[in-house]
Chains A and B, each alone.
Chain A
Amino acid sequence: MFEELLEDIAQKNGLREVNTNLKLATGLGAILLCLLSSSYFPPLFIALVLTGAILFLARVDPKTYAELFIVPLWFAIMSVAGIILISGGQDIFWKWNILPSFSLSVTRESINQGIFVFCRVLGGMSALCFISLTTPMTTIFTVLRQCRIPEIIIELMMIIYRTIFILMDQVVQIYTAQVMRLGYSTVKESIHSCATLCGAAFIASWDAGEDLIQAMDARCYTGKFAVLGENRPVERGPLLALFAFLSLSAAIVIFSGNSTII
């Protein structure tokens, strides 16, 4: 049911030991440039570079990475098809008047627009994947603290993070127990099993909450959560790579202007 979580991949990726701020800057900078660009080319360039980084530097399994892309990619293809058919233009290649007031058409402008949106999706997705596959959540807490996010929010995030995995374990166990006893063999049975699963998960989380308070009290809890996290020093190599990547991308954004594919 749940094979490998993104977090697990992030915990052992090849770029784990690189300074978190640099990795976040790479991802966020890439997203920003994708949004600023008005040509299809810069997002495509960003997508290629980041995909290369994910596959060769972070050494993420290509199959996992491809699977991650499939759902949003489908979504993107459908939307782009819609954009190409609906948005109009001057240079018409193909046109179909379904209703007097509504027609579908493929034009030069609509194709350019569709490809532009598609490339942006690719660029944005790869940037998000870059962050989630190279930066474990545990290191982001430190950055959040540096950003002066209130302690209470970070504490809640840390507790939630830890609890998710405990709850997940419980859910997997209950689900397996249900499957072993043919809990999902028919539709009716599936609905029933799913309801029981939710109920059991709720009770488990309630229990976990009570235990959490006990465990914290037993270690003298006074409202402090050790947020002294890890962060690696900024090293010259990654810093130069980040700088080169962002400035090259920015230059491409500027010079590609409004260039279109056809």
Chain B
Amino acid sequence: MSSIILEAREIRYRYPRGMEAICGISFHIRKKEKIALVGPNGAGKSTLLAMFNGMIRPDSGVLLFDNQPVRYDTASLRMLRKRVGFVLQNPDRQIIAPTVYQDVAFGPTNLGYPEQEVKRVAAQALRHVGLEGFEHRPPHQLSGGEKKRVAIAGVLAIDPDVLVLDEPTSGLDPSGSEDIMELLDELNHEGKTIIISTHNVELAYPWVDRAILMLEGKILEEGIPEKAFGNPEYVRRAHLSLPTLLELHIELQKRGFHLQGKKPHTVLDMMQAIETLFEKTYSSASPGAITIYNVDRHSPESFSSWHSEHSWVSIGAMGTRAKQRAENERIHLDFTYGVIDKCILRALLGENSLIMTTETMVDRVYQRVDSYVKESGIPIVVNMMEGGLP
């Protein structure tokens, strides 16, 4: 287990002339964790998030960052804010400069980076969120999802260890929300700790490592998603709804189906549980193969030659740059979210599939498929696409 990066001990906070927003909360967050704070409006989620980068100072209790108590003098706050990036709920409130580039460069400039370095990190941050070529656009001409990405890029440019996002998917369409969640996944994979607040249980449930259920300034339940979302009574009190998969699992068990293994996290887990239950095996067809198209290494030509031989496969793209590449090359995508699981599902049906992804995410595909193969004993083959490799 990795070390603790953020810890709260009995923190309390009361708004001036208002009610107590945080009533004695203790918890800890480890490095590289994906955490979601969930709860109804007014539960104190945003207040708690604003404490993580020192924008709100608790009335009592201690907040520790990297095992040091947070100090509230200007210099310490600056250091804290360099390491804890905060993305506000409303990107219009977060974006302050007249062009996208100037906004993303705001943080690095204030940290005193030399001009060349500012240019480099800003370009890199924009590339990360898939907004290359948007440098000179004024923010008021962008769509909601694009604004959100600019806001995230502005924070990424200062390269924080922890990213705190208040309602990252609010006001976005379902596919936009999925894209943002995947971007956060990608960032997490690169080693950043991610803390979000959200109402969207269906998106949070398969995504988080741990969830913290909040109600009236207190922690109601905390733990792995199956546990945090698994208690119908708590979920109801927190004005949320059970994730569909968990509800289905509970209902099946009530009807006397004893599903094996852990509670389902994804559709794939559920399928596996049901299939073990009915002892259905894949004797009829051998499982399909998954091919990886690494957009950082493979050339578009090697893809088109591959695609001409395998024109009927499903294609999924994982990661912002992979999706961008697909758009540029006019590749029709069948999946854009939960890609690995969907490809495994296809493979189980005996169909082949292709995953477009970036260098950093290639391991992820192997890990996920390997762990599935170990668990289920069904041999699914992952290939690297041929050609273009140095």
Is residue B140 contacting chain A, with contact meaning CB distance below 8 A?
Answer: yes
Residue of A nearest to B79 (CB): A220
Is residue A162 contacting chain B, with contact meaning CB distance below 8 A?
Answer: yes
Cβ of A215 and Cβ of B94 under 8 Å apart?
Answer: yes
Q: List 23 A-B contacts (CB under 8 A).
A: A158-B102, A162-B96, A165-B138, A165-B139, A166-B92, A208-B93, A211-B90, A215-B95, A216-B106, A217-B77, A218-B55, A218-B81, A219-B106, A219-B155, A220-B158, A225-B109, A226-B97, A226-B101, A226-B109, A226-B118, A228-B115, A229-B99, A230-B136
Near A by CB (< 8 A), chain B positions 122-150 give 135-141
Is residue A222 contacting chain B, with contact meaning CB distance below 8 A?
Answer: yes
Return the 9 tightest CB-CB contacts between A and B, nearest first: A226-B105, A165-B140, A219-B107, A211-B93, A226-B109, A218-B86, A161-B98, A220-B110, A138-B98
Give the Cβ gap from B181 to chain A, nearest Cβ, in Å: 22
Contact with A along B223-243 (1 / 0, CB 8 A): 000000000000000000000
Complex: A165 Cα to B142 Cα, angstroms: 12
Cβ of B94 and Cβ of A222 under 8 Å apart?
Answer: no
Chain A residues, CB < 8 A from B82: 220
Is residue B169 contacting chain A, with contact meaning CB distance below 8 A?
Answer: no
Residue of B nearest to A168 (CB): B140
Is residue B111 contacting chain A, with contact meaning CB distance below 8 A?
Answer: yes
Complex: A236 Cα to B284 Cα, angstroms: 70
Residue of A nearest to B86 (CB): A218
- Across the interface, B138 reaches (CB within 8 A) one of A7, A225, A227, A228, namely A7
Complex: A138 Cα to B135 Cα, angstroms: 11
Chain A residues, CB < 8 A from B101: 226, 228, 230
Bin chain A's interface residue count: 35 or more
Chain A residues, CB < 8 A from B137: 11
Cβ of B98 and Cβ of A219 under 8 Å apart?
Answer: no
The A interface, classified by DSSP as helix, strand, loop or mixed, is: helix
Give the Cβ gap from B77 to chain A, nearest Cβ, in Å: 8
Known: A138-B138, A169-B140. A218 touches B53 (CB 8 A): yes
Cβ of A222 and Cβ of B110 under 8 Å apart?
Answer: yes
Cβ of B109 and Cβ of A138 under 8 Å apart?
Answer: no
Chain A residues, CB < 8 A from B55: 214, 217-218
Contact with B along A194-237 (1 / 0, CB 8 A): 00000000000000100110111111111111111110000000
Chain A residues, CB < 8 A from B115: 228
Cβ of A219 and Cβ of B154 under 8 Å apart?
Answer: yes
Give the Cβ gap from A224 to chain B, nearest Cβ, in Å: 5
Chain A residues, CB < 8 A from B81: 217-220
Chain B residues, CB < 8 A from A166: 92, 140
Complex: A161 Cα to B96 Cα, angstroms: 10
Is residue B354 contacting chain A, with contact meaning CB distance below 8 A?
Answer: no
Cβ of A215 and Cβ of B78 under 8 Å apart?
Answer: no
Residue of B nearest to A139 (CB): B136
Cβ of B92 and Cβ of A226 under 8 Å apart?
Answer: no
Chain A residues, CB < 8 A from B265: none
Chain B residues, CB < 8 A from A217: 55, 77, 81
- Across the interface, B102 reaches (CB within 8 A) one of A215, A219, A221, A229, namely A229
Chain B residues, CB < 8 A from A162: 95-98, 139
Contact with A along B47-73 (1 / 0, CB 8 A): 000000101000000000000000000
Contact with B along A135-179 (1 / 0, CB 8 A): 011110100000000000000001101100110010000000000
Is residue B88 contacting chain A, with contact meaning CB distance below 8 A?
Answer: yes
Cβ of A215 and Cβ of B110 under 8 Å apart?
Answer: no
Complex: A118 Cα to B93 Cα, angstroms: 46
Cβ of A212 and Cβ of B96 under 8 Å apart?
Answer: yes
Chain B residues, CB < 8 A from A223: 110
Is residue A3 contacting chain B, with contact meaning CB distance below 8 A?
Answer: no
Complex: A246 Cα to B269 Cα, angstroms: 73
Give the Cβ gap from B162 to chain A, nearest Cβ, in Å: 13
Is residue A91 contacting chain B, with contact meaning CB distance below 8 A?
Answer: no
Is residue A8 contacting chain B, with contact meaning CB distance below 8 A?
Answer: yes
Is residue B31 contacting chain A, with contact meaning CB distance below 8 A?
Answer: no
Cβ of A227 and Cβ of B102 under 8 Å apart?
Answer: yes
Chain B residues, CB < 8 A from A159: 96
Give the Cβ gap from A137 to chain B, nearest Cβ, in Å: 7
Cβ of B118 and Cβ of A228 under 8 Å apart?
Answer: yes
Give the Cβ gap from B360 to chain A, nearest Cβ, in Å: 25
Chain A residues, CB < 8 A from B90: 211
Give the Cβ gap from B47 to chain A, nearest Cβ, in Å: 13
